């Protein structure tokens, strides 16, 4: 009998080979891919996210857990597609033009995937057109923009203006070290997240 908690625990401990082995075993026992995802992988990643918010674990632990979750997802992805399991939503994720920081963005991407979203990562130094094209191509409902410098924060405002001009109606959430809720309100963003774990919660709220 498959023990979902065992899968979650292996994710929490960042044991990628063990996650892979347990997920494969669960698949062989005819457990549905969605059950393995929801009751195993997402539970584990959610636990790490909650601890990360409370500063009980740090970036390295989150990265290791995310890598372990990815190992399980490699087995599940094709099965989820075949089963017609839809992601919670599609999020276009990128660091704005002029900013080359990607650790925060990558963490957010992992947390979003860990919460059941499909993530379209357009990378760093992303011009407004890149956000516009990716959102239209993927039918994304949420756009997540990151900036780590006060000098590139202003680009968030112009990117939102360009998105609206292009008729993109997706909700925009922003984050990064210098970014605040007040700034999000000022530039017309739909949401702000202070850290990667909160970003996944905020994206769910915006759906």
Quote the pTM value: 0.85
How confident is the model over 121-129, as a mean pLDDT?
A: 98
Residues 56 and 131 in one domain: no
pLDDT band at 128 (very low <50, low <70, confident <90, very high): very high
Examine the domain organization and report whether 97 and 173 are in the same domain: yes
Same domain flag for 162 and 96: yes
Quick one: pLDDT at residue 85? 87
- How many CB atoms are located within 10 Å of the residue 204 CB? 15
2 has pLDDT over 90: no
- What's the domain range around 65? 4-82
- Among 39, 66, 82, the domain-final residue is 82
Q: Confidence band (pLDDT; 50, 70, 90) for 130?
A: very high
Average pLDDT of the residues in 113-129 = 95
Per-residue pLDDT, averaged over 83-112, amounts to 93
Residues 126 and 178 reside in one and the same domain: yes
Asked whether residue 198 falls in the same domain as residue 109, the answer is yes
pLDDT tens for each residue of 12-41:
999 999 999 999 999 999 999 999 999 999
Whether residues 200 and 102 fall in one domain: yes
Q: Please indicate, yes or no, whether residues 197 and 107 belong to a single structural domain of this protein.
A: yes
**Continuous segment of H or E residues that includes residue 118:** strand 118-126
Position 50 scores a pLDDT of 92
What is the Cα–Cα distance from 59 to 198, expressed in whole angstroms?
A: 14
CATH of the domain at 48: 1.10.1240.10
**How many CA atoms lie less than 13 Å away from 15 in the CB half-sphere?**
11
The confidence score (pLDDT) of residue 197 equals 86
Give the pLDDT of residue 59. 87
- Final residue belonging to a domain, choices 82, 110, 141: 82
Neighbours of 193 (CB within 10 A): 24
pLDDT band at 150 (very low <50, low <70, confident <90, very high): very high
Based on the domain organization, do 27 and 114 belong to the same domain? no
Same domain, 195 and 100: yes
Say what the pLDDT of residue 203 is: 96
Question: Of 51, 82, 113, at which residue does a domain stop?
Answer: 82
Measure the CA–CA gap between 163 and 119, rounded to whole angstroms: 18
**What is the average per-residue pLDDT within 110-138?**
95
One domain, residues 199 and 114: yes
- Average of per-residue pLDDT values in the chain: 95
Is 77 in the same domain as 140?
no
Supply the CATH number for residue 143's domain.
Answer: 3.40.50.280
Q: Are 117 and 88 in contact (CB under 8 A)?
A: yes
Task: Answer yes or no: do 100 and 68 share one domain.
Answer: no
Please count the structural domains in the chain. 2
């Amino acid at each position: 009998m498959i023990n979902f908690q065992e899968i979650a625990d292996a994710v929490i401990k960042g044991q990628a080979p063990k996650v892979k082995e347990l997920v494969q075993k669960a698949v062989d026992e005819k457990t549905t891919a969605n059950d393995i995802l929801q009751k195993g992988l997402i539970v584990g990643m959610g636990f790490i996210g909650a601890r990360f918010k409370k500063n009980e674990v740090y970036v390295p632990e989150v990265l290791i857990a995310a890598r372990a979750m990815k190992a399980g997802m490699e087995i599940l992805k094709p099965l989820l597609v075949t089963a017609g399991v839809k992601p919670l939503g599609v999020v276009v994720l990128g660091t704005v033009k002029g900013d080359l920081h990607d650790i925060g963005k990558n963490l957010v991407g992992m947390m979003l995937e860990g919460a059941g979203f499909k993530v379209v990562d357009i990378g760093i130094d992303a011009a407004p057109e890149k956000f516009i094209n990716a959102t239209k191509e993927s039918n994304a409902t949420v756009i997540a923009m990151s900036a780590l410098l006060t000098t590139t924060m202003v680009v968030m405002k112009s990117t939102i203006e360009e998105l609206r001009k292009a008729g993109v109606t997706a909700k925009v959430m922003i984050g990064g070290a210098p970014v605040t809720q007040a700034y999000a309100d000022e530039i017309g963003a739909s949401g702000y997240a202070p850290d990667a774990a909160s970003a996944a919660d905020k994206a769910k709220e915006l759906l």
